[in-house]
Structures are given as structure tokens and as C-alpha cells.
Structure 1
Amino acid sequence: MGKVFAERLGAAELEKLQHASFNYFLHETNPVNGLVIDKTEANWPASIAATGLALAVYPVGVERGFMPRASAVERTLTTLRFFWNSPQGPEPDATGYQGFYYHFLDMQTGRRAWQCELSTIDSALLLAGALTAGVYFDADTAEEHEIRTLADALYRRADWPWAQNQGATVTHGWKPESGFLNYRWEGYDEALLLYILGLGSPTHPLPESAYAAWAATYRWEHCYGYDYLYAGPLFTHQLSHIWVDFRGIRDAFMRAKGIDYFENSRRATYVQHEYAIDNPLKFAHYGGHCWGLTASEGPGPDTINVAGIERQFFDYVGRGVPYGPDDGTIAPWAVAASLPFAPEIVLHVLDYCIHDVKLTESNRYGFKASFNPTYPGAYGNPHGWVSPWHFGLNEGPTVLMIENYRTGLLWQLMRRCPYIVGGLRRAGFTGGWL
């Protein structure tokens, strides 16, 4: 079975999906400031996370021949100059504060949108993208030298201890109207990258105790035959792995468990696969060929009767396995982003979504965000509801994790980043390539 799927979904088709997803960043970016729109809905703001992913995506575009190096340099410089020169301060209409940035920014002005929070995790994704550019653009030219200088300066400006707000762990963010958010980065999640970046800072580093405090909140679980570090949505097992090759390197927690974070993500991917086969809530089409629960858009909010069962459907929510929430919504991009961990089960799903559900047909940017075979679709679509939108936060991981599966490009680049290496060492990682 696996061989048939692999043959149907060869390297050329993976590259086609990768290229289509890459095109999001070509066409949904403001060329004046480098900001990338969060979502393809009219009048939507930019997302700093999507913009950080763009900075990491451009090197892939150059290597794959999707864009000329000169164009990538120009876009990258525009983006980094914007963030370096944009207003930093406590004013409610600034772009950032203390070296961090607001989650959503107006696409034209670059100022804070929607009274959103200054986001520590989205700032981390933005800075990771900047550091990627700083490593990749290594030519002895004035432009590439400026990229390296700006990437370094942006990273050094972030005041990580400030974001702790005198606590042991890092807060989710801050608002000028009300101060720090009540939530902190606790429990295993995508903040693995955030803590590594915070620990690696040469100017305002997190104390090593912050990482230990975060790891102390982990949940080790046994689900569907797998022992693993639990986090429900797939994206939490992926985002940090875009930049860091965790194969063979371990912190104190993973040394005690005898695995590494890469193996943990492989197990989490298999738990999703097994959950879909088990299908405890009896959603349509779930199985070994159809799985992938993550933070994604859905057909709700709505409660309707489907085949005699009253079903509750959600809008944008962090769907997860095995404890939910689960309303039958599948996000194919999140499966693509698990390609490095378990290609033998991921290729089945990508093949199904491309050839059977036709989720890339007539779409400029590869997969639409999500689909729900249980929720009745428009015009009697046998595959149910399909999201009308594309999101930058979906397209970036698709491009980057396909590339890591194919060549390991991002992993090789970030092994050369002294701040990532230093952050890993301060977090207690040893072994392997370190």
C-alpha cells in the first residue's frame, strides 16, 4: 500500500505542492515593507509569524529555483529594515516594544492591528526567520552584509527576562492597555523554540532556570500504544522542528526518557494516525488515509443534526488528539509538516487530499486550510465543508518541512547559527551533532 502511494506521490508532485505553497509568500506580501498577510480574506492584517516564516522560506525558494537570489535579497532586506526602523515603545499604536512585536500588524502602515497582544511566540518565529536569513545570505556584498547585521541586531534587541514579568516561565505576551497576559508558556508546546532563542541571547538572555521551570510542567502520556510527551495539536510538535534538528540531541528530560524530541514528534504523528483509525467519535472519512488535527479553521460555530447525531462544530480552535476538541475537521497542511517524522504514513494522506479530495485543484497556494467531511458541504460536495482561505501560518511549515524532508536545508543552516547552538547548550542539550 505504502509503495503505491509513494509512487503516486513522487518527488515531482511534492515539489509542485511546495512551489504552490511558496507562491503564497510571493503574492501575499506587501513589497513596500515585507509584511505577509495572515489570511487571504479581504482587509486582513499581517501576521508577524507568517512574516518570519517568509524570511525562512525565501532561501528555499532560491535553492529550488522558485525565485532569483537577487529578489530574495531585496525582499529580505525590505522586511528586516522595516522591523528595525518601525516604532518600538509602550504606545498602543506602535509596531513593537522591548524588542518584541505585535501579533497582527496593519498591512500598509505596519502598526498594531485589532488591539492585539505583543506576542512572545510570534516574535520568536519572526526572529527565527531573521536568523535564518542571516545565516543563509553569506555573500560578500553590501546587501547581504546588511541582512546579516540587521538580523543580528533584531535578535539582540529582544529583552527576554522582561517577558518573564518576574515569574519563572515566559508570559504569552503584553498589552499596553492592561500589561502582561495571565497565560505563561507552560506544558510542552511550540515554545521549545522560544526558550532556545531566549537562552541563546548574548544581550538579554533568559536564565537557565526558566527552561527548567518550563520542562517541569511537561505531561508524559501513553496513548494508542505510544509513550510520548503530550501536546494535542499537530503544529505543537512541528514548529520548533522547522529550525532545529533534534535528531540525536537530548535535554535532561529526554535523556531520562531515552528518546529525543524528533522521535517524540514521530510518536505524536502516529498517535494521530491511530486515533483516526479508531475514530472514537465516528466522523466521516477518518482513517489511515485521512487524519491531521491541529489549530485550524472549521465550519462552525454551529450545532446541527448529522445522520441522527447532534454534532457541535467549531470555528478556529486548537483541535487535538486524543482529548479533543475534535469536530471532524482535518488540516492537510499539518500532515505535510509531519513529513520528516513519518513519511510512510504522511504520504498516504497527502495523496488522498490531492487526488481524492482534490484540495489543491484550482487553488493558487496548494492546500486550502482545512476540510470537514462530516459537515455538509456546499453543492453536495462529497468531501463536505472546505475552508475558503489560505493562511501564512499553514503555507510556511508546508514549504519548510517538505524541504527538511528532502534536503534538511533549514536544519543545516541553523546548525551554523551560534545563538541556536548556544541556546541548546544552555538548555542542557548534548550529544549528536552538538
Structure 2
Amino acid sequence: MKAKLLLLLCLLPGFLTAQQKPAPKKAPQTTKFDPRQRPRNLTDEQLLDQVQRQTFRYFWDFGHPVSGMARERSNVAYEYGSEVVTTGGTGFGVMAIIVAADRKWITREEAAARILKIVKFLEKSDSFHGVFPHWLNGATGKVIRFSQKDDGADLVETSFLFEGLICARQYFTQETKTEQELRNRILWLWEGVEWSWHTQGGQNVLYWHWSPNNGWSMNHQIHGWNECLITYVLAASSPKFAIDKKVYDQGWATGDYFKNGKEFYKTKLPLGFDYGGPLFFSHYSFLGLDPRGLKDQYADYMQQNQAHTRINYAYCVDNPKKYKGYGPNSWGLTASDSYKGYAAHSPTEDLGVISPTAALSAMPYAPAESMAALKHFYHDLGDNIWSEYGFVDGFSEHHNWYAKSHLAIDQGPIVVMIENHRTGLLWKLFMSSPDVQRGLTKLGFESPQIKK
């Protein structure tokens, strides 16, 4: 489901989308798997390995057989069929594949070949001024309409895609034929993205969508604070179609919910919605962007993400609605499936649903609290929520509901953010890009990783 809808919907109490319509048919698995068989007596490092590796299978075993791209979700829902692949989720999946190669769960050659397959598919797929749609048909590369007018370019999903591809270009630096070709093809795609086109004729703001059939009619300006910081950073980093700093200052940093400054549970929140909103705001942009020491005139982004996480955690421990199962070992509210459909879970939109990706992807911000949640999910709730692709998308002990589904945009951050906590791998790769460093400098950011 689309992250962009949540920017508005997370403010609407009681919001739920249409009911899911899971189909029993799944893509064939490469190996038989009994989710009840979970290795026990693991050290913390072994447990992190186990969770990352199992979650990675979503992108490796369940990747689309033609394109290699990440499927939107593991079940068929919303009557879109089984061919739906997601551009943003694929970017997250590319980063998960890099983790798998670096940890030698697959070979470097296998990883490079799979990502090259994805890139070659993207070259032939529908794009609009170099910008990809949110959904593609994984077999044909044709756009799959997300909504009636959302049938063209999606700038935010494209930024998530290139967050991953830039990491791949920085990782696969060997002079083999495959790695050379991969770097070249990623560069061609990257140089072709017309970020500046999405200022709609030179306005000082980026627009989310453009369609060859509907033009700018969706008229969705991208304001902060939410998951879209990465979109402005990459737009400023573009080698051929970059935006100016004034687009960042007058577009991104002037949203109605950009600055906050209030305290919640004795924690001051610099930016964003009251109580912080869904936790994915502090995940998606920071799969690649290293928040450690990352500052600009508006915020210290490690402080922002830690505050957001602490507030979310404190709310779940406080549990004002008295839901069964909430507590120090079971916390984390973010957008995910729920017992009534897809919802933007947050302290102001609390339906009693815990989303495992919320706490696990917060590992760099609250390592002790995240590890406690991971152990509880795995050891105590695993019979209900552990599967062939890691943890399911959500659960509610209060409603005795446990999802059967997985979503690419939720599984990817688990692998990536746990790795960033452990080694900083994806942060180092993304921040080492000269284009990214130039873009960050242009926007006025400071970071220990920016070369002077």
C-alpha cells in the first residue's frame, strides 16, 4: 500500500482501507519450510542473523521470476493480481540483497546478477521523464495504475528505488564484466531521472505525481515532515536535473506539519506530527542516509529519529487504550496491515495492532528496546507471527488477529536497519556517493561522512 496516502490519512482517526482479499495461491517456494521450526538458544548475534536472513528471503525466493523485482505483497489483495511489483520496495530489496552478499548468504556474483536483471528490466519498463511509477507489471514492465489518476511517474517511490541502486553502484566496484555493466546501467538510469521536471515548471516545491494521461492533476506537493526527505536529497544530488536549495527550503521545510518542538512523554519532538506519526517516517529515508551527526538548519536527524522512536515506545508502554499485549517487549506502531485492512498505525491512530517492522527497523535508535521486542516476537509469539519470510506484517493479541501477509516496504527496512545498527553498511555505501555528498552540501547539511 502506498506510503504517500498516509501523509494525510494518519491524521484521520478511524481510517481504514478496503478489506484485504487474500488468495490462497502463492508463488512456488524454492525450499519447503515449516515456520514452527525456529532455532532456539541463539546468541543475540545469531538471532539477528536468523531474522535478517529469513526476512531477506522475501526478496530472493519470492522476487518476481521475470523481472527479479520485489512483489508488492505476499498475498493477492485489492484485486490487483499476482504480477504487481513495487519500485520503492525493490529499492529496499536491492539493499537487502547487498546485505546478503556481504554476509555471504549468497555469493557476490549471484547478488550482482540479480540486481543487473532488475536494472535491465527497469530500462525497458514504463517511465516518465525517467521517473518510474509506483507499481509495474513484473512480467511486462507496463505501469499498473495505483488509483484512477495515479498512472504515471511517482517521484517518491523512484527515490526509494534509487536509494537502493546508488548503494549497489557503490558496493559493486570490482572490474568484472557483470559489475562494470551494473555500475554503468545504474548510472544511465540515475542520470535520466528528471527531478527538476517535478517542480511543475520551476516552482519551489516538488510534486509527487505526473501522468501522461492526467498531467499534474493529482497536484500533490511534497511537504515535510514525513518519509520523503530522501526525495529532496536525491533531487539535489542529480548530476543532470538537480533542484536548487530554495526548492528544499520553500517546498519541503514549510509544510503544516514540519516543525513541532513540543514534548510528548517528556521527550521533545523537533519535527513532524504530534506524537511523531507512523514510525516509517524515521526509517525509509534513513536506510541510506546516515542520521549520525546529520544536521541542517532545521534539525539534528539522529535526535529527531530517536525522539520519534522514544515517543512511540513510551506510548505503547503507557498503553492508554489498555490493549492486550502492549508493553516494553511488544511495541511499535507504523503503517501495516490490520484486522480491518491497511492502516496508518501511530499513537493518534492506534487500533491495537503491533507491526514488527516498527520496532525492528528502529534498532539503530533504540537498540535495547528493539532487541527486547525482537526476542519477544521470536521466542514468545513466533508460533503465530514467524514464517518463511520472517515476521508477518502485523498482529493484535487484543483482537486475536495475526496477519498472513508480508509487504516489501515493511520487510526491507528490517534487514537494512538491523544491518545499519550492526555495521553501518548501507549508510557507508550511500553516503560515499559523490553525487549524494554534493547534494547534501548544496542543501546545507553537515555530516561526518561528507568529505570537505
User: What is the TM-score when the length of structure 1 is the normalising length?
Assistant: 0.87
Residue in structure 2 matched with residue 265 of structure 1 by the alignment:
305
Structure 2 residue 305 is matched with structure 1 residue 274: no
Residue in structure 2 matched with residue 247 of structure 1 by the alignment:
292
Structure 2 residue 71 is matched with structure 1 residue 40: no
Q: Secondary structure at the match of 1:50?
A: helix
Q: Distance in 1 between matches of 2:74 and 2:228?
A: 26
Out of 42, 48, 52, the residue aligned to residue 14 of structure 1 is 48
Q: Secondary structure at the match of 1:152?
A: helix
Q: Distance in 2 between matches of 1:273 and 1:331?
A: 12
Q: How does 1:266-345 map to 2 (within 5 A)?
A: 266-300=306-340, 315-321=341-347, 324-345=348-369
Q: Distance in 1 between matches of 2:144 and 2:87?
A: 11
Q: Secondary structure at the match of 1:430?
A: coil
Out of 117, 133, 136, the residue aligned to residue 102 of structure 1 is 133
Structure 2 residue 430 is matched with structure 1 residue 414: yes
CA deviation digits over 1:104-147, x for unaligned, max 9? Answer: 11121121113553211111011111111111100012211111
Question: Offset of 1:56 from its aligned partner?
Answer: 1.5
CA deviation digits over 1:361-390, x for unaligned, max 9? Answer: 661011000001222xxxxxxxx1011101
Structure 2 residue 415 is matched with structure 1 residue 399: yes
How many residues were matched structurally? 391
CA deviation digits over 1:37-75, x for unaligned, max 9? Answer: 110114331111111112222211111111111111111
Residue in structure 2 matched with residue 225 of structure 1 by the alignment:
266
Q: Distance in 2 between matches of 1:362 and 1:222?
A: 36
Q: Distance in 2 between matches of 1:58 and 1:16?
A: 15
Residue in structure 2 matched with residue 189 of structure 1 by the alignment:
226
Question: Offset of 1:27 from its aligned partner?
Answer: 1.3
Residue in structure 1 matched with residue 254 of structure 2 by the alignment:
216
2:432 and 2:449 in contact (8 A); partners too: no
2:195 and 2:241 in contact (8 A); partners too: yes
Q: Distance in 1 between matches of 2:426 and 2:254?
A: 29
What fraction of aligned residue pairs are identical, expressed as a percent? Answer: 29
Question: Offset of 1:270 from its aligned partner?
Answer: 0.6
Out of 381, 397, 410, the residue aligned to residue 357 of structure 1 is 381
1:128 and 1:243 in contact (8 A); partners too: yes
Structure 1 runs of 4+ off > 3 angstroms?
359-362
Question: Offset of 1:415 from its aligned partner?
Answer: 2.4
Question: Offset of 1:8 from its aligned partner?
Answer: 7.0
Residue in structure 2 matched with residue 429 of structure 1 by the alignment:
445
Q: RMSD across aligned C-alpha pairs, in angstroms? A: 1.7
Q: Distance in 1 between matches of 2:283 and 2:85?
A: 22
Unpaired runs of 5+ in structure 1?
Answer: 1-6, 87-94, 255-259, 301-314, 376-383
Q: Secondary structure at the match of 1:210?
A: helix
Question: Offset of 1:205 from its aligned partner?
Answer: 0.5
State which drifts further: 337-346 or 158-167: 158-167
Residue in structure 1 matched with residue 191 of structure 2 by the alignment:
156
Residue in structure 1 matched with residue 170 of structure 2 by the alignment:
135
Unpaired runs of 5+ in structure 2?
Answer: 1-40
2:156 and 2:231 in contact (8 A); partners too: yes
Q: Distance in 2 between matches of 1:412 and 1:360?
A: 36
Q: Distance in 2 between matches of 1:291 and 1:249?
A: 27
Partner letter of residue 263 of structure 2? H
Q: Secondary structure at the match of 2:333?
A: coil
Q: Secondary structure at the match of 2:263?
A: strand
2:333 and 2:353 in contact (8 A); partners too: yes
State which drifts further: 109-118 or 10-19: 109-118
Partner letter of residue 264 of structure 1? Q
Q: Distance in 1 between matches of 2:386 and 2:394?
A: 15
Structure 2 residue 145 is matched with structure 1 residue 114: yes
User: What is the TM-score when the length of structure 2 is the normalising length?
Assistant: 0.83
Q: Secondary structure at the match of 2:320?
A: coil
Residue in structure 2 matched with residue 308 of structure 1 by the alignment:
none
Q: Distance in 2 between matches of 1:187 and 1:362?
A: 35
Q: Distance in 2 between matches of 1:262 and 1:397?
A: 17
Residue in structure 2 matched with residue 304 of structure 1 by the alignment:
none
Q: Secondary structure at the match of 1:96?
A: coil
1:360 and 1:367 in contact (8 A); partners too: no
Q: Distance in 2 between matches of 1:19 and 1:157?
A: 34
1:171 and 1:184 in contact (8 A); partners too: yes
1:135 and 1:416 in contact (8 A); partners too: yes
Question: Offset of 1:177 from its aligned partner?
Answer: 3.1
Out of 391, 394, 413, the residue aligned to residue 370 of structure 1 is 394
Structure 2 residue 159 is matched with structure 1 residue 124: yes
Structure 2 residue 184 is matched with structure 1 residue 171: no
Question: Offset of 1:431 from its aligned partner?
Answer: 4.5
